[in-house]
Amino acid sequence: MKGLLLKDYYMILKYCRLYGLIVLVFGACSLVDQSNLFMLAYPAVLCGINCVTLLSYDERSKWQQYCETLPYTRKQVVDSKYVISCILVSGLSVLLAAAHSLAGAVRGNFDPIWVFGVFCLIWAVGYLFSAICLPMIYKFGSEKGRIMYIAVVIIFCVGFVTFGVNVSDTVQNEETLGFLMANPTYMGAAAVIASVLFVISMKLSERFYMNREL
């Protein structure tokens, strides 16, 4: 699987550099305006978009057919994308949590509950997005699965814009994301649930891809 991961790493460097720039911009904006949860959640969505983009390029270049001649099983091909997604989401979670810790320390208002909430939010959104999108792509292919994938992106974005725009105005409302960010138990549970769904998604994708005609 090392070769598959290395191939995806080179593809990310070539085709997904713009995503990295967008993540950097949104991450910096989240440090300036901590009340806007969309600025935190969207970079996590982009981690999932990276893997969908890699699958699209694989399909366009006929890599999947070529890979059948290599000493890799279909399970390894699927698992490599999930490993890439895991690395991206986990790395982003740690990076943004560390950035918010440092920003809080500099401002003199460091809040460990907020930092934990940031970590869990990125973790949960990133893993959940990948868990939903990747099986659809492996089941129907990148072209047929594109509509469903776009729909998921819109739902994620609209949800965070609607319910997570301003934490300070909504933290008392138990129906908002602001309330969840202030409760480490809920955030931790969300991260655990997303992780479990991610594993289930991987097993589904393996089954879909093994039964798919290329």
Tell me, rounded to whole angstroms, the distance of Cα 56 from its chain centroid: 17
pLDDT number for residue 172: 42
Retrieve residue 211's tokens.
């039964």
pLDDT number for residue 142: 77
Retrieve residue 2's tokens.
């090392």
- CB neighbourhood size of 213 (10 A): 3
Tell me, rounded to whole angstroms, the distance of Cα 207 from its chain centroid: 22
pLDDT number for residue 183: 81
pLDDT number for residue 76: 93
What's the chain's Rg over C-alpha atoms? 18
Q: How confident is the prediction along the chain (214 residues), in pLDDT tens digits per residue?
A: 888 999 999 999 888 888 888 888 988 888 887 767 778 888 888 887 888 888 888 888 888 888 888 888 999 999 999 999 999 999 999 999 999 999 888 888 888 888 898 899 899 999 998 898 899 888 888 777 777 777 777 777 776 666 654 444 444 444 455 666 778 888 899 999 999 999 999 999 999 998 887 6
Q: Comparing C-alpha atoms, which of 81, 84, 96, 83 is closest to residue 41? A: 96
pTM, full prediction:
0.85
Cα distances (angstroms) measured from residue 149 to each of 48, 106, 129? 10, 39, 9
Nearest-angstrom CA–CA distance, 203 and 115: 31
